[in-house]
Structure formats: C-alpha cells, structure tokens
Amino acid sequence: MRFIHLADVHLGAVPDRGCPWSSRREEEIWETFRRVIAGIRENPVDLLFIAGDLFHRQPLLRELKEVNNLFSTIPDTRVYLMAGNHDYIKADSFYRDFQWEKNVTFFKNEQLTCVKDEKLDVYVYGLSYEHQEIENPLYDSIHPAEGEGVHILLAHGGDAKHIPMNIKSIAASGFDYIALGHIHKPQILIRDNAAYAGALEPVDRNDLGDHGYIEGHLENGRLKTNFVPFACRSYEQILLMLREDSTQASLEDMLKAAQGAAAAAEKGISLTVQPCTGSARFDAKWTSEALFNVVDNALKYTPPGGRVTLSAECYELFCRIRVTDSGPGIPEEEQAQVFSRFYRGAAVREQDGLGLGLYLTRRILIRQGGYLRLFSRPGQGSEFSLYLPLE
C-alpha cells in the first residue's frame, strides 16, 4: 500500500499580490498540483490524502470541476479530501452539493467520520471545517475503531484558533499515521507516524525552505514515510551589505549576483568568474540585465554538479563576455530560433520560463551597437558571447 499526503495546496492564492510576477505564481500553484496528479498517473499510488486547504478561499464551481476532472484521471487511486480553515464549507459553498468522482471521498461536515477502504483494509478518519475558526479540540478524544487494518487520521489545525490538538496523545491512541495540515513548513512530528506535509508551494515570503509532500508505504506491516521536495519555487533570505554610496542600480546588481550564487549552490553547480583586464563603455543597468538573463538560463538548464563560467576579453573594436556551461546543449536546427520571442526548445518546455530572456538580451545588445553569438553542440554544453563596442 502506497500513499501521498498533501496539504495546504492553496489553489487560487496569489502570492506577492501586486508584484509583476504574482499572476504567474498563481498559475504555478495550479501547475504544481497538476504535476502531482500527473506523477500519480505515471507511478500510481493507492491513496491520496489532502489534509485541508486545497483551495485558498471558497472554491468556484469551475475550479471544483477542474480538480474533479484531474481526480478522474487517476481512477485507481482513492482520494480523501477535507476542507480546512481557508476553504471552509460556508452555508452557500459549492462544496455542499458537489458530486465528486467515484474514487473521491469528501468529508462534508465537522462531524468526525470514519470510512473503510475494504480493498486495502484501511480506515480513514476525517472532518471538514464549516467555520473559519474552531477552538474546540475535536481530535483529542478520538480513538481508532476496533479491528485490524491500517488506521489513518486526516487532521487540520494545531493552534489555539484552529482545532488545538495534542499530537502525542492522539498518536498514542492507536493511529498508524496522522496526516496533518495547516502549518506551511513541513514538519515530522513523530517519525513515520505524524507529520505536517507543509504547503505544496510557498505562498508567503515567510514560507522558507523546501516544499512538497509526504510519501508513504507499508513495509513489513509498518508504515514508512519520507518528504518529497516538489515545489517549483522557493523563498530565500539574501543578505545585502549597504554602504553610504549604494545606489538603486548597485543594489539590483548585488541582488542578481546573490540570486545567481544561490541558484548555483542549490544545484551544486560550479559558478566561476574569471579575472580579466580592459574596459568598455555600455549602459550598466541594461547590460547587467542582458548578462543576468544568459547566466540565469545557464544555471537553469545545467544539470546538478555541472559548471558555468563567465569570462571577458577585449579586441580592437569590441569587448566579448562569454558565458559557457556544461548543460545539454542546443540542437543545430533550434539555434537560429532561440533568440525569437517566446521560443522554447523542445527539450526544455517543461522547465519554468516564458522564452523572453535571450530575445531581450539580443535587443539590449543591438541597441548599444553590439550583438549576441551562440556556439553549442548537443551533449557538450553551450557558449553565449555578448559583444559590446569599446567606444
């Protein structure tokens, strides 16, 4: 028996609302949830637990239909779903009368219910929030039903306003696993027995660290679990040193450098900047943007353990900045198209991005009298050369 434990997906959330990237982040949350379902189709699990807050707010009818359609694509997986404090079941909620697929069990009210999966001999216990806040410790007096089998509790809360609970006491009552939601940071409270899966994607700048889901399986009569990082984004704390002569432009350059170093360190990529001599005249802000786009691409597509190198040299008329990587390379038939607006190569379409970086870089260089060159061979990496006039 294998299962996935999700919680706090927050479909419909708009992280960093008002920022240029906020609408993109909203769609990324949906896309990560779709990737979880796609992964289940490719590598089926028996059970999918969603311990509250699948939605960030009251779900729209069309959103419920989309989620239900996704569940219909994994008919051999039993889905157990509860509403949490964000998507609690209001009097007029579409949750109340919605007809779920046959493989979905939705806990419809605040009365704790036990559902037995006859095929797997698994007992699943759960309830849904009908109020945004519940101060009663609804889980503390619960005990598994008598009988053999695996007993799993879906629980959402853990603070004073959202079903306070004594996890050790609940676990001691006999549950084989407690699938928890509400806390966004993944936490293993009792090894292989009780865990907060955390938010699937970070939805707030305080949601630092890895995000994903819990995967579990039955091994020799005992449940074994592990955390699976799965989010496409993460928030990181970056320390910038300010001086009296710091400017907006210098702060942006420092931030981009820190982001590049953090991305390289996360993937174990060796990022090297070789020393050089010489000088050239160019627009610092826009040239920095152009170079960042190329370096960002190199870090994104270079596999873990690879290398990215920056170097520069001056010729009679131009300064050449080279960015080389040990990534997969670009097929010859695609090389003429990579500078086109919105173009995504066939091998990288699953990666995050809009296909604008190289297009903008080329435009920035052309406006300064420069140009961009590419040399690449599949399996041997790529070399992008940014040419800027000396005068």
- Going by the DSSP 8-state scheme, the letter that residue 352 receives in this structure is S
d(CA 117, CA 112): 16
Contacts of 43 (CB under 8 A, 6+ apart): none
Does the predicted TM-score (pTM) go above 0.75?
no
d(CA 297, CA 314): 24
Q: What is the pLDDT of residue 272?
A: 78
pLDDT < 50 positions in the chain: none
Q: What is the pLDDT of residue 355?
A: 61
Q: What is the pLDDT of residue 341?
A: 76
Amino acid identity, residue 166? N
Amino acid identity, residue 122? V
Q: What is the pLDDT of residue 339?
A: 79
Cβ–Cβ under 8 Å, residues 295 and 383: no
Q: What is the pLDDT of residue 352?
A: 57
Residue where the block lists tokens 């889901």: 213
Catalogue the E-assigned strands of the chain. 2-6, 47-51, 78-82, 104-107, 113-117, 122-126, 150-156, 177-181, 187-190, 194-196, 212-219, 222-229, 270-273, 307-314, 318-325, 371-376, 382-389
Q: What is the pLDDT of residue 329?
A: 87
Q: What is the pLDDT of residue 212?
A: 96
Contacts of 184 (CB under 8 A, 6+ apart): 8, 198, 199, 202, 203, 204, 207, 211
Amino acid identity, residue 194? A
